Amino acid sequence: MQQSPSAGPRSKDARDLTASEDHSVPHPFHVFCEKGGKARRSTLGWSLRFQFFRRPSMPDGLRRLHFSDQSHFLTFSCYHRLPYLERMHMQNAFLYALEQSRRRFKMNVYAYVVMPEHIHLLVSEPAEGALAKAMQMLKMSVSIQARKQGERIAGELPFWQTRYFDHNVRNHEGFLTQLRYIHRNPVKRGLCAKPEDWPWSSFRAWALGEVGVVEVESEMVAARREAQRRGVTLIELGRTQPSENRQ
């Protein structure tokens, strides 16, 4: 990888990582990343803006790699992993807050699942602002909504556990692994029989092309956007066409 003259010397950690691993990440929908109408595989290499965030308030050994042009698998939990999301019926409130954050920070939401006591997300890095700021605002918005509902959470205990788990998805295989894990999580926990039975996940957006509260950057959404750009009609199997077969 060539280094910009203005980028400055890289840290030893960054040199070790780039030397030992291939960090080129293919976009999951590379067919729709073409330029000039020509389909081709688009590879997202490391941006020269990447940097390691290691703040004094973080636990020892915890590092976040941001500005890497990679997708992120995120997990955060309710305080002490108590089922506040289920107990307070905050699942839909979280989805509305997630959609607001997606629009405000201009990031793609590839997948999500709202469990009784924790959240899994698969997202891109925001086009505006830092991912950490987006997650902070998302969690704060849900906490405020919980307070507005007049619900009490064991006195003055917080709604969320502090911080969150952040895993950089480095390749397409890793992307698919995290996508399957997110959608199968409710089934694995015994909360439903099939992924499509869980109402607070992005599975139906991927499998059926359903449009929900959160705009999910699935293959179907990408196909619809491409069809709209080209001015063509996209016929989706399994969907009833307007005014057809009606008396």
Residue-wise pLDDT for 26-53, tens only, equals: 334 333 333 333 333 333 332 222 222 2
Question: Does residue 200 contact residue 113 with C-beta atoms inside 8 Å?
Answer: yes
Backbone angles phi, psi at 126, to 5 degrees: -65, 145
Overall domain count for the chain: 1
Domain extent at residue 122: 21-230
CATH number at residue 40: 3.30.70.1290
Assess whether pLDDT exceeds 70 at residue 3.
no
pLDDT at 226: 79
Q: Which tokens go with 33?
A: 């990343």
Residue-wise pLDDT for 186-196, tens only, equals: 999 999 999 99
In a domain, 60, yes or no: yes
Cα(158)–Cα(224) distance, rounded to whole angstroms? 41
In a domain, 1, yes or no: no
Assess whether pLDDT exceeds 50 at residue 247.
no
| Confidence band, pLDDT 50/70/90 cuts, at residue 246 | very low
In a domain, 185, yes or no: yes
pLDDT at 157: 77
pLDDT at 71: 93
Assess whether pLDDT exceeds 60 at residue 185.
yes
In a domain, 241, yes or no: no
| Confidence band, pLDDT 50/70/90 cuts, at residue 61 | very low
In a domain, 9, yes or no: no
pLDDT at 227: 81
3-state class (DSSP) for residue 163: coil
Cα(169)–Cα(175) distance, rounded to whole angstroms? 6
Residue-wise pLDDT for 118-170, tens only, equals: 999 999 999 988 999 999 999 999 999 888 876 555 456 789 999 899 999 99
pLDDT at 92: 96
In a domain, 15, yes or no: no
pTM here is 0.68
**Which of 137, 113, 117 shows the shortest CA–CA distance to 195?**
113
Cα(85)–Cα(78) distance, rounded to whole angstroms? 8
Say which residues have a Cβ less than 8 Å from residue 188's Cβ, sequence separation at least 6: none
Question: Does residue 98 contact residue 112 with C-beta atoms inside 8 Å?
Answer: yes
Which amino acid would we find at residue 180?
R
In a domain, 75, yes or no: yes
pLDDT at 235: 66
In a domain, 70, yes or no: yes
